[in-house]
Structure 1
Amino acid sequence: MLKVYCDFNDSTADDLFWLLYLDGKPLADVADNYALQEGDRVILFQDVGDFEVEATLHFDRSAPYVFLGSRLCARPDWSTRRDLLTEVDRS
């Protein structure tokens, strides 16, 4: 599963996140290189070592800017959230 950077500070009311990056490039721009499709699963993270969460990708190829400037968004499955830092690490 691809590990994708996500800015969790911006989302839609229905929990879609659109600021997604892979290796410093917008995921929407490189999605075809990875043959990503509607419904594919990825792992989202924001800060290294903080937490990660699995998410489902959603595309709209007919209207390239339907998702606030991106043709690709992800909806996290918050039941899969994994905290990566232990309490000892945080102190």
Structure 2
Amino acid sequence: MRKTCLSAGRDFPVSHNATVVLIISLCVLGPSAVFIASSFASIRALGRNPSASPKIFTAMIISLAFAEGLAFIALLVAFQLLGQPK
């Protein structure tokens, strides 16, 4: 049986490698966006209120740790799903 992807009424063969690349790139791009947004917001907040540095730094580290944890879990799930036999 051939795997296909239905798009606009046409059948296209789905490449396993393309699926792997797409899933892993999404697992990397999501947390990268969180890193960018969190870093930008914390630097901007430090520029506005330098005296709040410890609170801002703590919140930034916690958000980055959660984003890193989610990225790690997403990659584990992706490798588990893609490691199953075809």
Shorter-chain TM-score bucket reads under 0.3
Q: Which has the higher strand share?
A: 1
Normalized against structure 2, the TM-score is what? 0.25
TM superposition score normalised by structure 1: 0.24
